[in-house]
Amino acid sequence: MIEKIIEVTENDTNTRLDTYVSSLNLALSRSMVKKLITNGKIFVNEKIVKESYKIKNGDKVKVIIEPPKETKLEAQEIPLDIIYEDNDIIVINKEKGMVVHPRKWQ
């Protein structure tokens, strides 16, 4: 678990909490920040507040980031329509709807 506590400066006063946390270089998108706020993982002065909360000079923002869960991807045996192949490249006629990059749905 990663826990960051940041004290708001005067320059950031009146910024929305979700916008502020997204700008902190924590590698969190705004949608990830919204999810953290909804799940009670972001606090202002030790209190849970809404994403629209306007931060103030001196506020202490605490962000708790859980490490990602380990996922195990397994190869699947599927027939491929190979159009061309050599030592450096392969060209495949991918079927419509075939997933190229697996994604974990949450």
Q: How do the domains of the chain map onto residue ranges?
A: 2-65
Average pLDDT over residues 94-103: 80
Containing H/E element for 35? helix 30-38
Give the residues across from 86 on adjacent strands: none
Question: Of the given ranges (69-73, 79-83, 101-105), which has the lowest mean pLDDT?
Answer: 101-105
pTM of the entire predicted model = 0.66
Count of residues for the chain?
A: 106
DSSP state of 11: G
CATH code assigned to 2-65: 3.10.290.10
DSSP 3-state percent helix, strand, coil across the chain (nearest 5): 15, 25, 60
Residue 1's pLDDT band, with cuts at 50, 70 and 90, is: confident
More confident residue, 69 or 45: 45
Report pLDDT digits (tens) over 50-79: 999 999 999 999 999 988 788 787 888 888
Give the residues across from 82 on adjacent strands: 92
